[in-house]
């Protein structure tokens, strides 16, 4: 029953209803009377049956085409009065326009390797560091006037920076993100995640300039949430909800792009509020 309700109230169905209404509004009645389904039926019965057949055929064709489009599309948009969010599949580093957010840990680690406290070579950050090596991260931090947190990281008592903070390096925005546990693995609470998002939106408001901003689904596959088990789908919805509620947004003519990885159990079509 829920599935049937979802189909009948979907955007594809709404398009089909509109086309059916237009057909019945603009086609003369004589067109429906001219076709006989069964000669022995009264004219009114034939007209009713023809109309039902037209409704069914149009609905099936339009809904099928829309469902196919929905399945194959690579991006969707959420547009409100003062912001646009573009959710799309892709490789973050392949986008050549706009500012691109690259997520680091809270200590801005730049060592790529397989140890728990090192950056994975397959991650976006690892790919970025291989393509654009950073010889002196501390110089970038100093240039950005980024102040360390009062408390030290749990990992080796290193200096750490507030999650959500940004350092601009050309068109890339290097973001302090994951807190580290005693073993150097990314770990944070749900509340810390929300606080990080709030800081990020405020920072993006300052740093985006005259560009769109591209960022990944934050936390997917790289963060252990201490008090929740969150999927990429849930993280995407949380990011969108947080941005919607934030007073800090990109200027109205610029878009926030959230770039997603294709994976089992995830679809941009399942994003909350998307048809």
Positive or negative, the Cα torsion across 105, 108, 109, 112? Answer: positive
Determine the pLDDT at residue 8: 63
Degrees to nearest 5, angle at CA 167 with 164 and 168:
125
DSSP 179-233: -B-TTS-BEE-HHHHHHHHHHHHHHHHHH-TTS-EEEE-TTTTT-EESS----HH
49 touches 35 (CB < 8 A): no
Other residues' Cβ atoms within 10 Å of the Cβ of residue 223: 21
For 147, half-sphere exposure in the C-beta direction (CA atoms, 13 angstrom radius) is 3
Other residues' Cβ atoms within 10 Å of the Cβ of residue 233: 19
pLDDT over 90 percentage in the chain: 61
Delineate the domains of the chain, giving CATH numbers in brackets. 2-72 (no CATH), 75-270 (3.40.220.10)
Determine the pLDDT at residue 128: 96
Residue 231, pLDDT > 70, answer yes
Determine the pLDDT at residue 1: 58
Determine the pLDDT at residue 3: 62
Residue 6, pLDDT > 70, answer no
Determine the pLDDT at residue 175: 98
Q: What is the pTM of this model?
A: 0.84
Residue 2, pLDDT > 80, answer no
pLDDT over 70 percentage in the chain: 95
Strand partners, 28: none
174: CB partners within 8 A, 6+ apart: 102, 104, 108, 140, 166, 167, 168
Band of the pLDDT at 275, cuts 50, 70, 90? low
Q: Per-residue pLDDT averaged across 218-228, rounded?
A: 85
Q: pLDDT (tens digit, 9 = 90+) per residue, 32-86?
A: 888 888 888 888 898 899 899 999 999 999 888 888 888 888 899 999 888 999 9
Residue 127, pLDDT > 80, answer yes
Of residues 120 and 69, more confidently modeled: 120
SS3 labels along 68-120: HHHHHCCEEEEEECCEEEEEEECCHHHCCCCEEEEEEECCCCCCECCCCCCEC
Tell me how far apart the alpha carbons of residues 215 and 69 are, in angstroms, rounded to a whole number: 25
Band of the pLDDT at 117, cuts 50, 70, 90? confident
- The one-character DSSP state at 268 is G
Average pLDDT for the chain: 90
Of residues 16 and 146, more confidently modeled: 146
Q: pLDDT (tens digit, 9 = 90+) per residue, 178-196?
A: 999 999 999 999 999 999 9
Positive or negative, the Cα torsion across 61, 266, 164, 104? Answer: negative
178 phi and psi angles, rounded to 5 deg: -70, 130
Positive or negative, the Cα torsion across 41, 47, 52, 58? Answer: positive
Residue 271, pLDDT > 90, answer no
Determine the pLDDT at residue 138: 95
Positive or negative, the Cα torsion across 189, 137, 170, 130? Answer: negative
- 172-178 and 166-169 beta bridge pairing: antiparallel
């Amino acid at each position: 029953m829920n599935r049937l309700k979802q189909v009948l109230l979907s955007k594809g169905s709404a398009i089909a209803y509109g086309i059916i209404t237009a057909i019945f509004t603009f086609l003369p009645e004589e067109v429906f009377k001219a076709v006989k389904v069964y000669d022995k039926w009264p004219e009114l019965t034939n007209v009713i049956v023809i109309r039902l057949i037209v409704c069914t055929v149009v609905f099936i064709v339009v809904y099928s085409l829309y469902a196919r489009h929905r399945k194959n599309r690579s991006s969707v948009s959420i547009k409100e009065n003062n912001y646009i969010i573009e959710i799309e599949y892709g490789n973050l580093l392949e986008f050549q326009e706009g500012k691109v957010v690259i997520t680091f840990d809270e200590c801005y680690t730049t060592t790529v390797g397989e140890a728990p406290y090192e950056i994975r070579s397959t991650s976006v950050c690892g790919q970025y560091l291989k393509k654009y090596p950073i010889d002196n991260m501390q110089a970038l931090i100093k240039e950005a006037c980024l102040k360390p947190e009062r408390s030290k990281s749990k990992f080796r008592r290193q200096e750490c920076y507030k999650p959500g903070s940004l350092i601009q390096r050309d068109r890339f925005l290097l973001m302090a993100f994951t807190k580290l546990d005693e073993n150097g693995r990314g770990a944070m609470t749900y509340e810390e995640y929300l606080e990080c998002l709030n800081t990020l939106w405020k920072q993006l408001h300052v740093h985006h300039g005259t560009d769109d901003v591209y960022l990944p689904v934050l936390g997917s596959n790289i963060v252990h949430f201490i008090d929740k088990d969150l999927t990429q789908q849930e993280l995407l919805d949380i990011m969108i909800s947080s941005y919607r509620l934030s007073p800090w947004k990109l200027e109205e003519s610029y878009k926030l792009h959230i770039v997603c990885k294709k994976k089992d159990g995830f679809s941009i079509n399942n994003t909350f509020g998307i048809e």
